C-alpha cells in the first residue's frame, strides 16, 4: 500500500478522492453507502481487511461528513465508525440548553444544543491527534469549514507543503483534528461557532459549519484542493488519472405549489432559505462535475441540458473522455421515491419522510443507515471502479 508521502505526491500514479456531504445526523445514511463501497474495494483487492483510507488518496468532508472523513482517514473501518456515530449522535443531539438555566441564557439565544457533549465525544474519537500527524492520519484529509469573520471557505488539509500548514501565516498542522471537525460541524442555530488559533495578525478565527457555503457537497472543493496550483497537491486530471466518489446524506424534493408561494411570510422564507441554498449549491456542484466527466452515475438535473451526455469537457476534443472519473451516490427522502424504490411493507407517508429528513433526530440513525445500505446495494456497481484505479 502507498505511504502517506506517496499519496500526496502527484507523480505516484492514479489518484482517488472520497468526498462526503454534510447533513447532520443523516450522515448515518452515508455510512450505509460506505459499507457497500468498502465491500467492493475489499473484493476487488482480495483483501477482507482493506480500509477505505488505504484505497483513497484523499478523503474530504463537510460538517457530519468531516466527522466520518476524519475517522476514515485515521484508519477506522465503516463498522467501527457506525458504532461510534450512533453513540455520538444520541449524545450530541440529546442535550439541549434548558430554558430555566438562566446562567446559560446567552448561549440559549444563540444555539439549540449544548456543545459540551459534541466536544467530549469528538475528543473521545480523535484524542490528541493533530491535523499534521503524519503517522496517525493515513491519507490526505480535507475538512471543509467556513470562517465566519471573513465569510470564506477554509479547506483545512494536512499536506506538509500547504501554504498555511506551518508558516507565519498559520499553523494548521498543530490544530487538533477534533477541533477542525468541531469547526466544520458548527451548524448555525444548532451549535455555537468554534474558535481556532490560526496565526497571522488576527491570532484566532471563528468558524461555522462548512455547510453554509457552496461546499456542503464538498466534491468540487476537494477537486480544487487536489488540482489547483495554489494548493500543494497538483494532481493530474484525466478520466484515467483522477477518480472522485461523492456520497450524499439524502435530499428532499422541493414541493411548493405556485399558489402557496405568494402566501409565504417572512418567517416562512427565513425558515426555508438555508435548505434552498444548500440544495442549489449541491446541485450546482454535481452538475459541474458531470460536465467534467463521462459519469456512469449521471442524472438529469436540468431538463434543458439533460444529464450533459453531449457536453463533456475534455482535453481530447471530439471524444467522450472526461477530465475526471466521477461517481455520485445519494437518495431522495421523499415518500414517492422511497416507496417506489424500496417497496417497504408499510409505505412511507409525507410525515415519515419529513421526520427522516430532520438533521437532528438521532432516533433515525438505524433507519437512515438501513436506507443508505439498501440504496448502496442498488447503486454501487463494481464496474464503477475501473481496474486502473486498483491500488
Q: Does residue 311 have an active-site annotation?
A: no
Q: Does residue 167 have an active-site annotation?
A: no
- Reading the block at residue 224, the C-alpha cell is 480544487
Contact 333, 251 (CB under 8 A): yes
Residues 69, 76: Cα–Cα separation, whole Å: 10
Contact 390, 44 (CB under 8 A): yes
Instruction: Count the Cβ atoms, other than its own, within 10 Å of residue 275.
Output: 14
Name the active-site residue from 57, 63, 114, 246. Answer: 63
Estimate to the nearest angstrom the gap between the alpha carbon of 146 and the chain centroid: 14
Name the active-site residue from 209, 293, 298, 334. Answer: 209
DSSP state string for 112-170: SB-THHHHHHHHHHHTT-BTT-TTT--SEEEEEEEETTTTEEEEEE--TT-TTTSBTTB
Q: Between 177-184 and 116-126, two packed helices, what is the crossing angle to 10 degrees?
A: 140
Q: Between 78-92 and 27-44, two packed helices, what is the crossing angle to 10 degrees?
A: 170
- Reading the block at residue 105, the C-alpha cell is 441564557
DSSP state string for 273-310: HHHHHHHHHHHHHHHHHHHTB--TT---SBTTTBT-TT
Please give the positions annotated as active site: 63, 209
Amino acid at each position: 500500500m502507498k505511504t502517506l508521502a506517496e499519496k500526496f505526491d502527484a507523480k505516484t500514479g492514479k489518484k482517488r478522492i472520497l468526498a462526503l456531504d454534510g447533513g447532520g445526523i443523516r450522515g448515518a445514511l452515508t455510512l450505509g453507502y460506505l459499507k457497500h463501497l468498502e465491500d467492493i474495494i475489499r473484493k476487488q483487492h482480495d483483501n477482507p481487511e482493506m480500509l477505505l483510507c488505504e484505497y483513497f488518496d484523499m478523503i474530504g468532508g463537510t460538517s457530519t461528513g468531516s466527522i466520518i472523513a476524519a475517522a476514515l482517514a485515521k484508519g477506522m473501518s465503516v463498522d467501527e465508525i457506525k458504532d461510534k456515530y450512533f453513540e455520538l449522535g444520541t449524545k450530541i443531539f440529546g442535550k439541549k440548553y434548558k430554558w430555566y438555566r438562566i446562567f446559560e441564557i446567552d448561549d440559549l439565544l444563540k444555539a439549540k444544543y449544548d456543545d459540551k457533549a459534541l466536544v467530549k465525544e469528538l475528543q473521545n474519537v480523535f484524542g490528541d491527534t493533530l491535523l499534521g500527524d503524519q503517522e496517525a492520519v493515513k491519507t490526505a484529509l480535507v475538512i471543509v469549514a467556513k470562517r465566519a469573520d471573513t465569510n470564506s471557505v477554509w479547506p483545512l488539509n494536512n499536506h506538509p507543503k500547504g501554504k498555511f500548514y506551518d508558516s507565519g501565516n498559520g499553523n494548521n498542522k498543530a490544530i487538533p483534528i477534533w477541533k477542525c471537525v468541531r469547526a466544520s460541524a458548527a451548524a448555525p442555530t444548532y451549535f455555537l461557532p468554534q474558535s481556532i488559533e490560526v496565526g497571522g495578525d488576527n491570532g484566532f478565527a471563528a468558524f461555522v459549519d462548512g455547510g453554509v457555503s457552496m461546499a456542503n457537497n464538498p466534491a468540487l472543493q476537494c477537486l480544487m484542493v487536489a488540482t489547483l496550483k495554489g494548493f500543494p497537491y497538483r494532481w493530474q486530471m484525466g478520466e484515467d488519472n483522477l477518480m472522485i466518489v461523492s456520497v450524499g446524506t439524502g435530499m428532499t424534493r422541493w414541493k411548493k405549489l405556485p399558489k402557496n408561494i405568494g402566501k409565504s411570510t417572512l418567517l416562512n422564507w427565513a425558515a426555508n432559505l438555508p435548505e434552498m441554498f444548500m440544495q442549489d449549491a449541491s446541485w450546482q456542484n454535481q452538475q459541474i462535475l458531470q460536465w467534467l466527466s463521462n459519469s456512469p452515475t449521471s442524472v438529469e438535473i436540468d431538463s434543458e441540458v439533460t444529464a450533459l451526455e453531449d457536453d463533456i469537457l475534455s482535453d481530447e476534443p471530439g471524444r467522450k473522455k472526461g477530465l475526471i472519473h466521477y461517481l455520485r451516490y445519494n437518495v431522495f427522502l421523499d415518500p414517492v421515491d422511497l416507496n417506489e424504490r424500496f417497496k417497504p411493507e408499510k409505505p412511507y407517508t409525507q410525515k415519515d419522510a419529513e421526520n427522516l429528513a430532520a438533521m437532528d433526530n438521532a432516533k433515525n440513525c438505524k433507519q437512515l443507515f438501513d436506507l443508505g445500505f439498501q440504496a448502496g446495494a442498488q447503486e454501487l456497481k463494481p464496474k464503477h471502479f475501473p481496474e486502473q484505479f486498483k491500488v
